[in-house]
Structure 1
């Protein structure tokens, strides 16, 4: 192991300018988080409380072990979408500790449109289930939902990853021995009724909890019967007569205590202890914002980042002198061994080959991989194409795709084009993926996209014997740049669930250590690589 040495001077003007620019970004993130946790607003929250119901995050706090943290997943989902009326996509999901066991908690927020499911609500819950499945986490569903948001039924009901996938996931995880537990705190209507009905065990709260495939209005319309909510599907009906629920709770705190008792039963799934002694980095994590250039076109100093990320600032670098636009090496985070890949420039053939070999070695030794993105893409040009950069890039993408060790991705700066794929982007199965507030991701940068499209337009005009003035070219390019700029932000990516969270640089080590701990206790699959084009 070699020690990474920092040359940073925190009094330099560039450091201070970088830290100031990051502070302004953090203000935007803080405002977005505040909106996400506000639920449906004060009036809806008060109406909820008057029914003797806890707010969703209060339910989660009461469920978790005292003094433990809740790692929220998809907090910023639907930010700025649906006219801003569905904060956090109407459901709170995340990983918390219950009776010493990490669990995936999914709590509907009935203050937001009655807890109904929008397209992003479904996407968010399916993502939470995927994390639970991969890490073997028991699932706890705190149900309080009016079912599907009917005006958007076409985007909710019929497709492979729509509402039905939630129920299929419950059944499949149960078959794998991953506990599925529901606590019905309020309404549980229509298709949503299958969540508690399909769970291993279900608790229902007296007076507020209801489960039915068709509510009183639908029953009256279909059969002419007039019935109230509790008589149709209340706690007494389902614990005494139907058997749909297993446990009757007198109130929500009682229901949560029953859930805790179920989770506490003997079984697998405890947090794994690190195999190595955790060591703090030699340099202060709080200095990371000052390392992020105010100008996103300037490089992020990769070794300075690693010096503040790795235990003891120690890195055993792989092929240090070869393909050095990508740094690869082994180290540890929070006492867990990791293989790290961090961009230090554009990807060339050499750096892609080096990455593929490094991923092979880590897979052979069962070492988790951490990808730290700051990549504009692969190098382009005549000599590089003739040299086979597409073939070499494909080796890296193949290795990332087929390696079965746990993988984690954090976008530190930019993540563009095929470079984003090669660095284990969302489509390549990272167990957790996050962005820093300054980070951006898109198929290419806004300037490049505007220039490419302008050149295509000029070629089309030339075939007609026409051309544009410089002013007309700029007028054509400006809205493209603006659109790419808006679409590539971390907030936009989080709102559409392209990443699981936007995290602050100083919390990155803790966020990764939590993921590594979960992965360490989960079942492993052997890696079998495909054909590498040589």
Structure 2
């Protein structure tokens, strides 16, 4: 009896020792993790004085509060090149990575810890991010990046670090190609190789007057070329939003940027397949009767049409300041997530690039595209030709022609020239094409066509040395206008099966809802192909 008790006592004592040993090791790890947090938090006064959030404050606002965050590789880079003394070395490699939820979507999250050495790349920063990317790729997780980094530490340069670092960009390209969205929010500097983090992202948000992305910053630029330029000129948020097109969204501050990322994740709607309840548009469908002008040359804001078609009148505009006349964005119609494209003016190079990028993003998400046609054509002129209008327009045509998602087109107003093509006209085989009764479709306006032919006649007369017959020229111009007007109307085009029907604008939402539900069911339906049509016996 005593022996048994003694044996049990021994086992209890052993278990207690094991437990205490494990608790001690856990405490050691937690102490190292807390060392990292404390070092970053020392920058609080500096960050807050600039109106900025600390990296972990950004992370807290990004993540869903009711879901856990599983932080990975917290000890990466401990006792490494930056500080080989274990008593003072800061683990984590100035990068926070882990798995959490953003707007209900499980994601891989990577945050530069810019409270530590301004977020400069350390010995294992690249490898840590590469591993996080590999997990995201294997587990099919979107990647959200909060970027603010001083770049590589040139004082402690190691060639192997430079060579390995390219894997970060390789994986970003693979993630996007695999259909896993990459969303980047730039809070501060993203220089040199770090500029490819947003450059290889699917969605980019930049914080105004804080974020800068460039291959060469002012100092390196001065050393390399002698050119003087400011941070804002080289890579500011407004420049990238309005000129280069790198930034899809511009935020006013850190919190605004984080909310925009959360909005993007909501629009991604990764939990597709659910049938959530939907809200009716705030405006009346009757308003659609009066928005489109009688004269198709009169400008109209197509966002007024969108507001009366989409759930809750909620429209998440994409790249709003770049190619502004071309309007792209995300919304829902009767609960179905869609991408919407329309125009508040002609298509220019920036607009064509934006639309092509947006189409590819929707294809990546498997999201149907809705085109609301009101387009006068592509921009022409010396400046636009020299800017590459042809090649940029071709990008749009390529993206549109090869988009594998459901495409629905509504002819709301004008549809002239190559604009008809770029906005998914009949030749591009949309799944359903509907016309409002006021819509007009033609290679150009009748008066424009008449003027073109008059100029041709005038040139011909000058070459022949004969005066232009003014009466004949006016008669020909009038005939051309009549021909164009008689063929451009919706009744004529519909009579030739150039659409799938002319509808009451007030019924547009119902039509689109039906088409989207039909397409969704078709994509879910499993067929059993056979080698022959079933014969009737």
The structure with more radius of gyration: 2
Q: Which has the higher contact order (CA 8 A, sep 6+)?
A: 1
TM tier relative to shorter chain: 0.3 to 0.5
Q: TM-score, normalised by structure 2?
A: 0.46
